[in-house]
Structure 1
């Protein structure tokens, strides 16, 4: 009976968090920015293609190009939205008001993680669907998917794009967990976003160190999602996912400890 009551309470918290997510203007601003990035990519492709002949992308291949070139756009947006769920709510008092209700702190954290997972999935799916529309309007649908010098049959690009989206969810969710943990630690929105962005900024600096780069989340975020497009061993994929899961486990444990002892109600 207590389990059912706890499950209902968690479900209501998740509903509340999702309501707040869809009410935020920042989510829709992020979507507009992603669309602007896609339109900018169209103009850049046209400019680079001027003066020589070659294979132009089409509506089927354009989403794959956008995904590869937007590798850090999504994490930045997720970081901003994740910081709002903790630091901004702490500053505004909404986090305190939520805990004045008969809800568990851990359930509240779980609801925020589910909300973050939803945001990650929505942004990735939106990026793919909108790039299909923008790419088709700009270049036409085309007869097949072309990525570099590799050709895929019609419809093959959609399968690869779906795989990339699926493999992108966990790394981006884990990046969001970094922001949540830092936000719980500092209760500072700008500081938590800035600290997470530093991780992305130093990623290129460690990629030249083979002994370290595989353990760095920034490197795995660039590699794991694009396994379908790379000559990558399955063991490397599982190894990268294990690193991401280790990050997630440590960050989740740290977030649970922080939210339990944080003086939110003062």
Structure 2
């Protein structure tokens, strides 16, 4: 039995979306699925946690489930069972047990550049399970209750890229980040920019996150890698204007204890 999603009169569930197992395919899947999730939630501003969980699951499938073949695929299924949203993401990889993934908030894991995706999935949904299904594909199954009215979240947006502008104030190099700090886009752009500053002998770096729209686990990992690289060379890297969505992600992954973060630029500059 098919059911309308509420997001698009021509879209019905269950729905299966198949993408190539390549990083550049993530935005294609997001463009197809986010309007459906927003329709189910009845309010775009409420969909962010589920969108993040789905994003992390797809990233995981692409990074670890490609099976080394150029024609590998990731299959994403959305459905409704009773009062729950069901999301299944399957790939061609060997799979893993989510129960064995270490908590990234532990002291030994908080400064790792990776390993936060499964934890973020768990915090966003009611249940997470893994199994090998038909055709030998590994499948992650996420379930969460459909929301009641008045749900609150961070609004999604369409498309994604990262722009970085550099300026200097009182000997502090400020990088103004605009866009998405996510896998394959802002994450790579940021780490490259930080490496260039380190090579130029820059010791005081302030990242302005006021215009950062999204941060995922890879983006958080890019921040951690940048922080470690700057610190290793005797420098300091600090944050200012951390958005609500980024702050929530930092809190969930234990990174609020790592970064010096400030509410105003002047306060941050004075701290160096």
Query: Shared topology, TM-score over 0.5?
Result: no
Which one has a larger percent strand, Structure 1 or Structure 2?
A: 2
- TM-score after normalising by structure 2: 0.31
Which one has a larger percent helix, Structure 1 or Structure 2?
A: 1
Larger Rg: 1
